[in-house]
């Protein structure tokens, strides 16, 4: 029959073991959900110390298969906590696995654990003669500490590869605090924890590698766009910056319609990825359209062909004038006729030069082309004819050239603009073809909405404000403002800061952009912070916010 004191002791021992197993299970769940590697390493060592009542410990990671690097160092008695989330670096050099002559450095207990793939449980370092404990003893001399018991466990991942070492120091009695040795139960629990920890670290490393791979993919796409069109090379880099600037300002609002809008670090990353990829569909857009700097540009600027035709017409006028002079010289009243012919020639020549100069001006894109200017282009086409050298007499302008020269805004025809606009459809299709993880599910929606308008007149889906996410509306403002101020576009110089805000304000009044986001953009000086970092000084002029069209300085009361 078992004595009751012995039975109680066994019950306490079983209860303690069950409690530690529960802790181990909870730790395993916590490790699998931790996203921060530094915090994960710290939690591993803290958990190991907790379930074994260890006073101190160190976590090492195998570095380049040749060294053990100190990652986390903890000592409760000395209140030393280095590495991990504490951002207090460990001042010890990595421990080499092999000496200079290539022999194993296995007299050190942590190296021995790695090289021989085994757990080492030392009851008293000051009595053990199997390992070199000169390092711990030197530490003890400096601090007054006494490193006695050591439990050193290799950390092996699911492929049984050792990735690090978990070392615990000084097992303490939970009731008396007396330092003793690590029990067999302690060893088994820590070995189980080390295995879980190694798998968690390996999974975290794999996730980081996948994230790095994806970031490389994003950079590759943007590099392809940049290489295709150097004129918009900075756009894919600047829009994400401005998007997050505005999104952060919106997230910080304490009152108004966006007071409840918040973004976590995961949300910011999702928006950042979407902003980086918002123009990825442009890889399918013909380069001669993306880079169209003038109205007559196709592969080359056809204004040069017009100049050639004008030169032919000028030559023909000169020949006709010389013939008229010869005929007049042979007539009795030749002097008067020659003088009149010369005057007519000079008048026509000045008209020719003026019309040629006018077409050059028309070839440059602008904000607006008045109807009377379009009419003059058509009149010039009727006014001049030229001989193409094949016996054909043709108008100086073809129908296609008239059509292009009469483009009202910018340099693109309606058809070319439709081709450009199609890049958003391609962006959405490309991004929807990717199997996004849960935390990036809305990348395609955010990226595909930056050309929608609040009144439903945008593209490609014609969404209205209420149908759009806040993030897509934020990106729309960032995309427009960057395009207005960019100085690397082939068809226009970058707008000054005040000019860009004036245009953006008019777009607010025209229900093009979100009115509340626009007010935050101005009120929180997002435009100014961006300008100071990314716009050249000559573009950053003084802004009178009271004169910005549609700007409401007070926090809006609107709801959406």
Q: Which tens digits make up the pLDDT trace of 147-184?
A: 999 999 998 887 888 989 999 999 998 888 899 999 99
Contact 516, 556 (CB under 8 A): yes
Count Cβ atoms below 10 Å from residue 186 Cβ, excluding itself.
Answer: 21
- pLDDT over 90 at 456, yes or no: yes
What secondary structure, in 3-state letters, does 424-481 show?
Answer: HHHHHHHHHCCCCCHHHCCHHHHHHCCCCCCECCCCCCCCEHHHCCHHHHHHHHHHHH
Spatial neighbors of 384 by CB under 8 A, at least 6 apart, are 309, 310, 313, 352, 355, 395, 396
Instruction: Give the pLDDT confidence score for residue 6 in this predicted structure.
Output: 62
Count Cβ atoms below 10 Å from residue 398 Cβ, excluding itself.
Answer: 13
Do you know the residue count of the chain?
560
- pLDDT band of 467, cuts 50, 70, 90: very high
SS3 of residue 387 by DSSP? strand
Model confidence over 95-154: pLDDT tens digits?
999 999 999 999 999 999 999 999 999 999 999 888 999 989 999 999 999 999 999 999
Mean pLDDT of all residues in 50-69: 91
Q: Which residue has better confidence, 158 or 551? A: 551
Contact 514, 454 (CB under 8 A): yes
Measured over the CA atoms of residue 490, residue 492, residue 497 and residue 503, the dihedral's sign is: negative
Threshold 0.75, pTM exceeds: no
Instruction: Give the pLDDT confidence score for residue 225 in this predicted structure.
Output: 75
**What Rg do the C-alpha atoms of the chain give, in angstroms?**
38
Q: Which residue has better confidence, 328 or 498? A: 498
Instruction: Give the pLDDT confidence score for residue 331 in this predicted structure.
Output: 61
- Mean pLDDT for all residues in the chain: 87
143 secondary structure, DSSP code: H
Model confidence over 510-531: pLDDT tens digits?
999 999 999 999 999 999 999 9
What secondary structure, in 3-state letters, does 289-325 show?
Answer: HHCCCECCECCCECHHHHHHHHHHHHHHHHHHHHHHH
- pLDDT over 50 at 239, yes or no: yes
């Amino acid at each position: 029959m078992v004595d009751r004191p012995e039975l109680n002791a066994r019950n306490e021992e079983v209860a303690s073991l069950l409690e530690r197993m529960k802790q181990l299970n909870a730790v395993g769940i916590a490790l699998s959900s931790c996203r921060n590697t530094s915090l994960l390493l710290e939690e591993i060592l803290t958990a190991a110390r907790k379930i074994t009542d260890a006073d101190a410990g160190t976590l090492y990671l195998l570095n380049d298969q040749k060294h053990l690097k100190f990652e986390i160092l903890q000592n409760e008695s000395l209140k030393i906590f280095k590495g991990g989330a504490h951002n207090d670096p460990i001042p010890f050099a990595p421990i080499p696995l092999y000496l200079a002559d290539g022999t194993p450095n296995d007299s050190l207990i942590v190296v021995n654990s790695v090289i021989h793939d085994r757990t080492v449980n030392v009851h008293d370092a000051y009595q053990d003669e199997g390992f070199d404990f000169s390092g711990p003893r030197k530490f003890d001399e400096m601090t007054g500490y006494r490193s006695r018991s050591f439990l050193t466990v290799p950390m092996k991942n699911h492929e049984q590869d050792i990735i690090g070492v978990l070392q615990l120091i000084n097992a303490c009695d939970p009731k008396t605090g007396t330092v003793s040795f690590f029990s067999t139960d302690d060893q088994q629990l820590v070995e189980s924890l080390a295995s879980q920890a190694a798998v968690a670290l390996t999974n975290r490393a794999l996730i980081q590698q996948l994230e790095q791979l994806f970031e490389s993919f994003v950079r590759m796409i943007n590099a392809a766009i940049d290489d295709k069109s150097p004129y918009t090379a900075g756009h894919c880099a600047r829009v994400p910056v401005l998007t997050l600037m505005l999104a952060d300002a919106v997230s910080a609002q304490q009152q108004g319609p966006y007071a409840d809008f918040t973004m976590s670090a995961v949300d910011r990353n999702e928006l950042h990825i979407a902003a980086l990829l918002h123009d990825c569909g442009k890889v399918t857009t013909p380069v001669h359209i993306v880079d169209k700097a003038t109205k007559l540009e196709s592969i080359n600027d056809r204004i040069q062909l017009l100049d050639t035709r004008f030169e032919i017409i000028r030559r023909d006028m000169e020949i006709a004038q010389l013939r008229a002079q010869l005929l007049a010289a042979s007539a009795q009243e030749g002097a008067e006729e020659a003088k009149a012919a010369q005057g007519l020639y000079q008048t026509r020549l000045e008209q020719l030069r003026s019309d040629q100069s006018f077409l050059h001006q028309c070839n440059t894109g602008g904000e607006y082309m008045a109807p009377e200017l379009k009419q003059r282009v058509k009149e010039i086409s009727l006014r001049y004819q030229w001989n193409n050298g094949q016996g054909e007499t043709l108008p100086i302008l073809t129908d296609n050239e008239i059509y292009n020269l009469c483009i009202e805004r910018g340099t693109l025809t309606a058809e070319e603009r439709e081709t450009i606009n199609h890049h958003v459809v391609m962006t959405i299709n490309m991004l929807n073809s990717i199997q996004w993880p849960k935390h990036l599910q809305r990348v395609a929606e955010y990226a595909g909405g930056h050309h929608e308008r609040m009144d439903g007149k945008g593209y490609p889906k014609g969404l209205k404000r209420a149908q759009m996410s806040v993030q897509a509306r934020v990106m729309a403002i960032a995309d427009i403002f960057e395009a207005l101020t960019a100085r690397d576009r082939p068809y226009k110089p970058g707008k000054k800061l005040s000019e860009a805000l004036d245009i953006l304000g008019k777009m607010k009044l025209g229900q093009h952009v979100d009115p509340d986001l626009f007010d935050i953009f101005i009120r929180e000086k997002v435009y100014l912070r961006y300008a100071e970092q990314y716009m050249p000084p000559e573009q950053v002029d003084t802004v009178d916010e009271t004169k910005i069209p549609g700007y409401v300085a007070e926090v809006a009361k609107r709801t959406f």
